[in-house]
Structure 1
Amino acid sequence: MESTLMTRQNWLSILAHSQPTELLAHWQPLNLSPEYQVIRAPEIGLNQLQARMGGTGRRFILGDMTVTRAVIKLNDCTDIYGYSYIAGRNKPHAELCALLDALLQHSTLKGRPAGLNELLLKTVIHPLAAIQQKRRQLRAQHIAASKVDFFTLVRGED
């Protein structure tokens, strides 16, 4: 149960952080058209972001951020709902993320064929994770290149 939950947390994170064009580029070649019902149509809302000074100080309001959420249910299964909660205002992206969440859950249930899950993980989730990891590494290299170390020999406190 815990490994399934951890796996779901991972794929939800990957889907939420994916770029819409990259997600579509990996989804469309599969030519899957599962039937589903929209439980909560994609809707745009606003979240208030909080932060702490130095990570440990008092909370303060950092700002607001738009988010889009969606919930769908697969037609051939009564108890599986797909959820998505993404940054930004892209409704089709939120709906596709919810659909993928439901499909990945559907194929991990006992008695279901694991082929769909493996296919989705291999062709959608793992490539998106690799793209995101590469993007993080490039950003870290860019930030490291601009790092400045301040060092003084005389401090002026004498």
Structure 2
Amino acid sequence: MDHLQPRQRWMSVLAHSQPTELLAYWQPLNLNPQFQRLRAPETGLTQLQGRMGGTGKRFVMGDMTVTRAVVQLDSGVYGYSYVAGRDKAHAELCAIIDALLQVQGMDELLNSKVIAPLAAQQQARREERARQIASSRVDFFTLVRGE
């Protein structure tokens, strides 16, 4: 994820965050930004598409529930979020944090106290999952009979 632009990176971290973990890092900061909801959190469906082998024709895998929100800070900065699932409070908090991360001075605080720890937890979960999968990996091979 290091190759992403800063905003892409924090949006990805926020979207993949667990609501309880996000709150655990957000609440100790005691930030109460003034904002207005431009688009109140709302839940809908989006279609998931895939490609056979990653390169073939597209096909619809199914639908996924997504919640989105848009806020505007009193300073005029907009914050957006799309999160998987139906948690409206999570989507709104992600939008607020996105807006605050665009404010000079707040970005360093939020990156160090919220984004970096969440990214580290997500990376640890990915590595643990990869270890679990690797432990059950089976290598198939064919013996060639010499004649």
RMSD: 1.5
Query: In the alignment, what sits opposite 1:152?
Result: 142
Alignment of 1:1-158 (within 5 A): 6-75=5-74, 77-78=75-76, 80-107=77-104, 114=105, 116-153=106-143
TM-score, normalized by length of structure 1?
A: 0.87
Unaligned 5+ runs, structure 2: none
Is the partner of 1:26 in helix, strand or coil?
A: helix
Question: What is the deviation of 1:152?
Answer: 2.8
For the residues of structure 2 that align with 1:154 and 1:88, how far apart are their CA atoms? 50
Q: Tell me how far apart the structure 1 counterparts of residues 84 and 41 of structure 2 sit (CA, whole Å).
A: 12
Alpha-carbon shift at residue 128 of structure 1 (Å): 0.3
Aligned letter for 1:103? L
Superposition deviation, residue 153 in structure 1: 1.8
Q: Which runs of 5+ in 1 are unaligned?
A: 108-113
Identity of aligned residues (%): 68
For 1:106, what is the secondary structure of its paired residue?
coil
Count of residues in correspondence between the two structures? 143
Task: Name the CA distance, whole Å, in 2 between partners of 1:38 and 1:88.
Answer: 20
Give the TM-score normalised by structure 2. Answer: 0.93
Letter in structure 1 aligned against 2:90: H
Q: Distance in 2 between matches of 1:103 and 1:95?
A: 12
Q: Give 1:154 deviation, angstroms.
A: 5.1
